[in-house]
A and B are shown apart, each in its own frame.
Chain A
Amino acid sequence: MHPDLDPQPRGLTRLLRELPAESAPPYGYSEFERRARERARGARSLAGGRRLAVAAVIGVGGLALLVRLSGPVPLANHAHNVGTSAAAPPALGPDDEALPPRAGAGERWLASLPSEPAVVHVGTRAAVVGLEDRIAQLDDLLTAARGARAAPARLAALQQERSRLLGTLVQVRYAETLANETP
Chain B
Amino acid sequence: MTRLAEIAVPRELLTRACAGDAPARQALYVALAPATLTLIRRMVGQRALSEDLFQDTMMTFYERLPQFRHEAPLGAWLRQIAISRCLMYLRSPWKRARMCLEPVDCGVAAEVAALITPGYAGEHIDLERALASLAPTARAIVWMYEVEGYSHQEIAHAFGRSVSFSKTQLSRAHARLRACLEPQEHPPSCTLI
Contact = CB atoms under 8 A, between A and B. Distances in A.
B127 interface: yes
A145 to B, nearest CB: 90
Nearest to A38: B55
Interface residues of A, number: 26
Contacts of B146: 8, 12-13, 16-17
A36 interface: yes
B128 interface: yes
A124 to B, nearest CB: 65
A32 B32 CA distance: 13
A19 B152 contact: no
A1 B150 contact: yes
Interface residues of B, number: 44
A25 interface: yes
Contacts of B174: 6, 8, 12
Contact of B123 (A8, A13, A15, A35): A15
A22 interface: yes
Interface in B72-96: none
A126 interface: no
A6 B171 contact: yes
Given A15-B127, A36-B55, A2 B145 contact: yes
A36 B152 CA distance: 34
Interface string B134-154: 000000001101110111101
Given A32-B29, A36-B59, A12 B177 contact: yes
A72 interface: no
Chain B's interface: helix, strand, loop or mixed, by majority? helix
A21 B59 contact: no
B170 interface: yes
B179 to A, nearest CB: 12
B29 A29 contact: yes
B26 interface: yes
Interface string A7-49: 0110011011111111111100100100110010000000000
A39 to B, nearest CB: 7
Contacts of B167: 5-6
A74 interface: no
Contacts of A8: 146, 170, 174
A35 B167 CA distance: 39
Interface in B146-189: 146-147, 149-152, 154, 167, 170-171, 174, 177-178, 181
A183 interface: no
Interface stretch (B8-16, B35-43, B99-107): B35-43
B21 interface: no
Contact of A16 (B37, B41, B127, B150): B127
A147 interface: no
A16 B174 CA distance: 12
B61 to A, nearest CB: 11
Contacts of B54: 26
A160 B58 CA distance: 89
Contacts of B149: 1-2
Contacts of B37: 22, 25-26
A25 B34 CA distance: 5
15 contacts: A1-B149, A1-B150, A2-B151, A3-B151, A5-B152, A12-B178, A16-B127, A21-B2, A21-B34, A22-B35, A22-B41, A23-B34, A25-B29, A29-B30, A32-B29
